Structure 1
Amino acid sequence: MTASHGAGHGHGHGSAAADGGAGDGEAPIAFWERRYSGAEPIWSGRVNATLAAAVGDLAPGSSLDLGCGEGGDVRWLASRGWRAVGIELSPTAVSRAEAATVEAGLGGDRARFVVADLGEWAGDPAGIDGGEDRGFDLVTASFFQSPVELPRQRILRAAAGRVAPGGRLVLVSHAAAPSWAPGHGGDFPSPESELAMLDPAPDGWETVTAEVRTRAITGPDGAPATLDDTVVVLRRR
């Protein structure tokens, strides 16, 4: 899946209007392949700054990025020593992710990509992502907001189930419309709604972070702008 509102790389999504216009009842694979059908990459290839801030101090281990788009976060994690896996629905996006990974000099032992529907993955996570039975030390989902069908709660609860003991689940979501489009529609999760959706057992999880963070960016017109991100970080006990 993939990011919206000029986030700089991809996952999750905002409204259909922001993401190229989803047709009524359009299949997710058709929508995302259409989004990636142009000759040029959609995203910058840089890491999501909010994710980098949330995990930059962690010791590397194994990681899984859901809806990895063209792989910017996966490559950043791999470059920092993580054994990084990304899952993305669009074969075109994964082809670009793999090509950029080779260009960056990162081998398949550092960064690996899987083409898969995350709704199907949620029914058989280990069988599809190819990770260890114990799970991953870090599972991430950034801007996981889609204009086409996406069983978000089921997928993110499955994501929590793929976190190894002592590992972390990191969710980054658009918390509000961008400053240059205050009337922009969409579903904007709050820290409270994300925690309610996950419903983590207190004896099994520690809430490390649950807050809204504002970051400065450059808007579409080149003027200074801001984005608000909901950031939730849980650590499995």
Structure 2
Amino acid sequence: MKHHDHDHAHDATLEELRQALTREFWDERYGGSERVWSGRPNQRLVEQTADLTPGRACDIGCGEGADAIWLAEQGWEVTAMDVSRVALDRTAQHAIEREVDDRVKVGEYDVLAGHPPRKPRHSEGFDLVSAQFMHVPREDFDEVYQRIAAAVAPGGRLLVVGHHPDDVETGARRPHGPGLLFPPEQVLAALGVEGGSSDDWEVEVVDSPVREQETEDGLMRVRDSIVRLRRRQ
């Protein structure tokens, strides 16, 4: 599941926005094309993990597996999770093709199902949990990200990247639906991080940089929300 190129109308109802997170929706989306995404890892993931020591990683909403496979090539043991069985099958096949299938496992995960991602056996969690462009309705945002964060092990990192709402104001993106795009501060608030720290989390990165993205109309400048937190020991 990767939501960064899927637009919703401003007048979409909450139920319609939630429907766009279901297995049925994404199985149909992936089933309609041999490849939906570029096959390249997300730029912000590459940047934000460059200084991390590989360990156990979880890629939430892995889509066709580009991020998970790239992490595996860097030495991470990766659990790639998505609501779509079609996406997971593609991730597994792409891992075989890139000869990293011994370091990539796949598993179904529905972000709205009400439970955290399953942790690795005999462990306290993952050393890295990555949620790239996981846009959910504002009504569900806090609980979804609290559950995702619960899978991070002590000393591990949570990396969240999303589209910044400024992109709609500048015309860089069409509306995704009310409340789907978010600033980095929204992630901090959801996890109870106030004033740059909390009892549970150390803030390592809070940023909203601009990058250039290729589109059918040429290059456009877009803004990303980036949050990287380290769970305290």
- Under a length normalisation based on structure 2, what TM-score does the superposition of the two structures give? 0.84
Which ranges of structure 1 fall in alignment gaps of 5 or more residues? 6-13
Shift, 1:150, TM fit: 8.7
What is the SS of the residue equivalent to 2:211? strand
Shift, 1:131, TM fit: 4.5
Q: What pairs with 1:184-195 in structure 2 (closer than 5 Å)? A: 184-186=175-177, 187-195=180-188
Task: Select 1:107's aligned residue among 95, 101, 104.
Answer: 101
Aligned length: 220
What is the SS of the residue equivalent to 1:119? coil
Mapped partners of 2:216, 2:139: distance in 1: 27
C-alpha change, 1:229 and 1:181, in structure 2 (3 Å) is: closer
**Hey, what does 2:133 align to over in structure 1?**
143
C-alpha change, 1:210 and 1:131, in structure 2 (3 Å) is: farther
Q: What pairs with 1:89-108 in structure 2 (closer than 5 Å)? A: 89-108=83-102
What is the SS of the residue equivalent to 1:44? coil
**Hey, what does 2:41 align to over in structure 1?**
47
**Hey, what does 1:16 align to over in structure 2?**
8
**Hey, what does 1:160 align to over in structure 2?**
149
What is the SS of the residue equivalent to 1:78? helix
Mapped partners of 1:146, 1:225: distance in 2: 24
Shift, 1:35, TM fit: 1.0
C-alpha change, 1:49 and 1:182, in structure 2 (3 Å) is: closer
Mapped partners of 2:143, 2:181: distance in 1: 18
What is the SS of the residue equivalent to 2:31? coil
Using the TM superposition, name which of 55-64 and 172-181 deviates more: 172-181
Shift, 1:15, TM fit: 3.2
Which ranges of structure 2 fall in alignment gaps of 5 or more residues? none
- Under a length normalisation based on structure 1, what TM-score does the superposition of the two structures give? 0.83
Mapped partners of 2:172, 2:69: distance in 1: 31
**Hey, what does 1:123 align to over in structure 2?**
115
**Hey, what does 2:30 align to over in structure 1?**
36
Shift, 1:183, TM fit: 5.1
Shift, 1:146, TM fit: 4.2
